[in-house]
């Protein structure tokens, strides 16, 4: 019997086969040399195969009476088998080969037919299948020819010779496809933010409220003169939007609680400037400065829209506090952005760069490397975006980075203006906004205690 023969057929009716030949020697070294190692067992020789590899040939429609190793690997559980009839069960008992007469490297300690053992993948050995090699679960073949397909060592697994090894606990699933490009993550979150603003602050038919896009959440017809009292009441909604923007960043959860609060504070200061700037460029420029809730203040000297007296704050106080800040924002931020012709993708990148760069000085030493890594990721992603669109990366990326200092300076002015309001009690600020403005003092007080 040649070892390199592609197919070995052994017939129990052959007179040249003696009793010893009728027993199959299951030797891994022999199987490894067969190319391909496929056996077709005919006649009574099949009953000499060990019980756990035995082929049922009584009734082809009855299905299998055992679970294969491949079934364990593929399905991770046993299938439900049809029960034996009394005749089939007695036949199996009659054909059972005692343990001390079984040949091969497999050692089983129990007297009963062994239960299928756990296989260690990627190791040489054999796997037994019933049916054809292409479809191991095919039991429709004639009962006169049933085959045992022995996998090659490169594809197969070794049967454990010791006691059954328990299945290992499954590893936690990691959805690597959810890890996105930093710029694409910012774009998606900014479009989601626009949809939330429409739902909260717009009065439209519902079919026009839903949907994410890169357009302004408001049209020119929807914006209205700003009422400071209404904006103060909606301040926590805007802070919540900023917090959700931060949570969309996967590494935000790795920061300490103190760093999370410091990062949120910086976003409140900077987004309160940047978001109205871009909304105004889309639907208000050059006459109106539009806030996040769709309310605007007039940029004309002879127009008092948004600057009129209110019960909580007078027109004089409004102009004294916010007019200088508005003029600086328009001169140092809005005009350069307008000349630059900033796109939606560039704006969300600028917003991300300003947020992470501004927060670095306020977080702990442990949190700074995480923020710096995100900064590098945004810059690399924006550079790739320019290359894909065939635009000069150095010129446009440099212009965006140069804007950071103007925005950060405007943020400091915004803080000083609101501290003036709080100190002189010029009008009632939201309590959460007060805490964020005085966060440094709150942290220092907690350390002293």
Virtual torsion, Cα 428, 432, 434, 435, nearest 10 deg: 160
CA 4 – CA 33 distance, rounded (Å): 7
For residue 121, pLDDT beyond 80 = no
Among 44-53, 92-101, 263-272, 412-421, the range of highest mean pLDDT: 263-272
Q: In what order do the strands lie in the sheet with 8-11?
A: 8-11, 38-42, 146-150, 128-130
Q: How many CB atoms lie within 10 A of CB 52?
A: 18
Q: In the numeric block, which tokens belong to residue 442?
A: 């709150």
Q: How confident is the model over 88-106, as a mean pLDDT?
A: 50
Mean pLDDT is lowest, of 16-30, 232-246, 391-405, 422-436, for: 16-30
Q: How confident is the model at residue 375 (pLDDT cuts 50, 70, 90)?
A: very high
Which residue is it, tokens 């309160």?
272
CA 408 – CA 359 distance, rounded (Å): 10
- pLDDT given at position 284: 86
Sign of CA dihedral 311, 317, 321, 323: positive
- pLDDT given at position 268: 95
CA 194 – CA 196 distance, rounded (Å): 5
Q: Is 40 helix (H, G, I), strand (E, B) or coil?
A: strand
Give the tens place of pLDDT for each residue, 286-324: 899 999 999 999 999 899 999 999 999 999 999 999 999
For residue 153, pLDDT beyond 50 = no
Q: How confident is the model over 414-443, as a mean pLDDT?
A: 87
- pLDDT given at position 33: 46
CA 256 – CA 266 distance, rounded (Å): 16
- pLDDT given at position 427: 87
- pLDDT given at position 123: 36
Given a contact cutoff of 8 angstroms between Cβ atoms, the answer to whether 258 and 365 are in contact is no
How many CA atoms within 13 Å lie on the side-chain side of 370?
17
């Amino acid at each position: 019997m040649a070892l390199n023969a592609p197919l070995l057929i052994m017939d129990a009716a052959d007179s040249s086969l003696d009793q010893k030949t009728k027993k199959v020697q299951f030797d891994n070294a022999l199987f490894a040399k067969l190319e391909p190692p496929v056996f077709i067992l005919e006649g009574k020789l099949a009953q000499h195969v060990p019980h756990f590899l035995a082929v049922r040939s009584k009734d082809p429609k009855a299905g299998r009476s055992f679970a294969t190793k491949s079934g364990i690997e593929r399905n991770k559980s046993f299938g439900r088998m049809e029960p034996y009839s009394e005749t089939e069960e007695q036949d199996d008992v009659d054909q059972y080969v005692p343990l001390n007469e079984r040949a091969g490297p497999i050692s089983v300690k129990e007297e009963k037919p062994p239960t299928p053992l756990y296989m260690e993948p990627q190791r040489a050995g054999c796997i037994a299948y019933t049916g054809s090699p292409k479809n191991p679960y095919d039991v429709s073949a004639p009962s006169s020819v049933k085959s045992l397909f022995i996998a090659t060592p490169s594809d197969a697994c070794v049967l454990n010779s010791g006691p059954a090894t328990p299945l290992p606990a499954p590893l936690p699933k990691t959805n690597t496809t959810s890890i996105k490009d930093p710029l694409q993550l910012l774009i998606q979150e900014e479009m989601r933010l626009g949809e939330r603003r429409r739902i909260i602050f717009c009065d439209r038919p519902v079919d026009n409220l839903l949907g994410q896009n890169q357009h302004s959440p408001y049209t020119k017809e929807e914006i209205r003169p700003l009422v400071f009292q209404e904006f103060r009441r909606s301040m926590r909604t805007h802070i919540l939007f900023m917090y959700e923007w931060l949570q969309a960043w996967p590494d935000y959860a790795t920061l300490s609680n103190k760093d999370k609060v410091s990062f949120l504070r910086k976003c409140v200061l900077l987004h309160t400037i940047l978001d109205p700037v871009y909304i105004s460029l889309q639907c208000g420029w050059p006459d109106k400065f539009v806030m996040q809730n769709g309310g605007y203040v007039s940029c004309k000297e002879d127009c008092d829209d948004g600057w009129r007296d209110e019960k909580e704050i007078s027109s004089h106080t409004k102009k004294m506090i916010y007019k200088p800040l508005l003029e600086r924002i328009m001169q140092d931020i809005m005009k350069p952005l307008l000349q630059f012709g900033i796109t939606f993708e560039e704006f969300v990148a600028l917003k991300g760069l300003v947020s992470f760069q501004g927060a670095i000085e306020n977080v702990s030493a442990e949190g700074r490397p995480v923020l710096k890594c995100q900064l590098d990721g945004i810059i690399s992603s924006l550079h790739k975006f320019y290359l894909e669109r065939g635009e000069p990366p150095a010129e446009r990326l440099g212009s965006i980075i140069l804007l950071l200092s103007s925005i950060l300076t405007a943020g400091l002015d915004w803080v000083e203006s609101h501290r003036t309001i709080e100190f002189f009690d010029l009008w009632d600020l939201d309590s959460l906004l007060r805490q964020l403005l005085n966060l440094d003092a709150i942290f220092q007080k907690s350390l002293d205690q």
